[in-house]
Amino acid sequence: MQPKGTVLELCQVVDDIDAALDHWTRTIGAGPFFVFDVPVLPGQIYRGRPTEVSMRVAFGFTGGLLIELLQQTNDTPSVFTEMLEARGRGYHHVMLRVPYDEGVERLSGQGHEIAFSGRMPSGERFCLFDTRSSDGSYVELMEISPAMEDSLGRMHRAHLSWDGATDPVRGMDRLGEIT
């Protein structure tokens, strides 16, 4: 996986996660993907106001890069619907592997604003900076806890041992099977 200071993840926002999974596994060869429904996370803020975004996400590696496929599952305005409405499905954001507060200071210092933020169910902070004026997308920062690091390691090991065809889409509950 990537060292500190590099891109950990590339996210595509999609309107049909099943079709996106088929493309990424069969055409691109990424995977396997671990899929789960994300309920409304605590303390979500969208452009300065409380919000309630739910989504279905899939995570899988291609080489050392984590791919996230994200389909919002409700109609709440968000950074995801902004992108879908402006240009349709496709590249949405990268996540940097940097300490959270360091990343917030750097991006804020460059004049970028947080467009969406909240906390994971286990308490890790996350945010997406609106960097569309620079590169047409967003930049995500997240506190990567030891538990999250473990999950990333399991997904990466699943990718390295995957035959490219068997069981390409799995529930997140299956991540515990990976040693």
pLDDT confidence of 131, banded at 50, 70, 90?
Answer: very high
pLDDT tens track for 41-87: 879 999 999 999 999 999 999 999 999 999 999 999 999 999 999 99
Q: What number of residues does the chain have?
A: 179
Write down the pLDDT at residue 169. 97
pLDDT confidence of 1, banded at 50, 70, 90?
Answer: low
Residue 122: helix, strand or coil by DSSP? coil
Write down the pLDDT at residue 20. 98
Write down the pLDDT at residue 139. 98
Residues 6+ apart with CB under 8 A from 101: none
DSSP code of residue 121: T
How far is it, in rounded angstroms, from Cα 75 to Cα 175? 29
Q: Where are the domains of the chain?
A: 7-162
**According to the CATH classification, is domain 7-162 in 3.10.180.10?**
yes
DSSP code of residue 24: I
